[in-house]
């Protein structure tokens, strides 16, 4: 989850450096709200894309890889976080959509880089037990068993 969030944050920052667009809450000229080549690195002028949505989507997708049974709740949470950016005037809908796409891409990239990382969940008595291991269990160190 952390790697996915960090990747999404880096990708979002790269785009924000290249694109200027005033946030909706700024009472600015219509020209300021259009996407233009990045010249400013100032929060009020960098609404595209939504970093909160990018991070939320990356973490949500990382959770779903290990806990697919929470699909509905995870996507509902991500959607709510993105939707909250609109009434506050922080982002336009396209900013939120771009942030979600960045989050999806970041998590997919991290999953490709670390394909063998999986969390094995089980129960021992009534205590929850979990350990990190390789999906095929052949790379598990003896101390992990």
List the pLDDT tens digit at each of the 145 positions of the chain.
899 999 999 999 999 888 888 788 776 666 555 655 656 666 666 788 999 999 999 999 999 888 889 889 989 999 998 899 888 888 889 999 999 999 999 999 999 988 765 544 443 443 444 444 444 444 445 555 4
19, two tokens: 């694109």
β-bridge mates for residue 138, sequence order: none
Kindly give the interhelix angle for 71-83 and 93-113, rounded to the nearest 10 degrees.
140
Closest CA to 111 of 66, 51, 71: 66
Q: What is the pTM of this model?
A: 0.69
Contact between 53 and 100 under an 8 Å Cβ cutoff? The reply is yes
Pairing between β-strand 19-20 and β-strand 127-134 as defined by DSSP bridges? unpaired
């Amino acid at each position: 989850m952390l790697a996915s969030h960090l990747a999404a944050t880096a990708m979002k920052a790269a785009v924000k450096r290249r694109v200027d667009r005033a946030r909706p809450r700024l009472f600015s000229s219509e020209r300021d709200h259009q996407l233009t080549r990045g010249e400013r690195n100032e929060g009020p002028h960098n609404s595209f894309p939504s970093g909160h949505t990018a991070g939320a989507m990356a973490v949500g997708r990382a959770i779903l890889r290990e806990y697919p049974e929470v699909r509905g709740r995870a996507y509902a949470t991500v959607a709510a976080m993105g939707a909250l950016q609109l009434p506050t005037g922080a982002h336009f809908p396209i900013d939120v959509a771009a942030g979600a796409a960045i989050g999806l891409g970041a998590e997919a990239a991290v999953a490709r880089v670390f394909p063998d990382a999986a969390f094995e969940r089980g129960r021992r008595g009534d205590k929850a037990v979990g350990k990190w291991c390789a999906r095929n269990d052949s790379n598990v160190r003896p101390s992990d068993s």
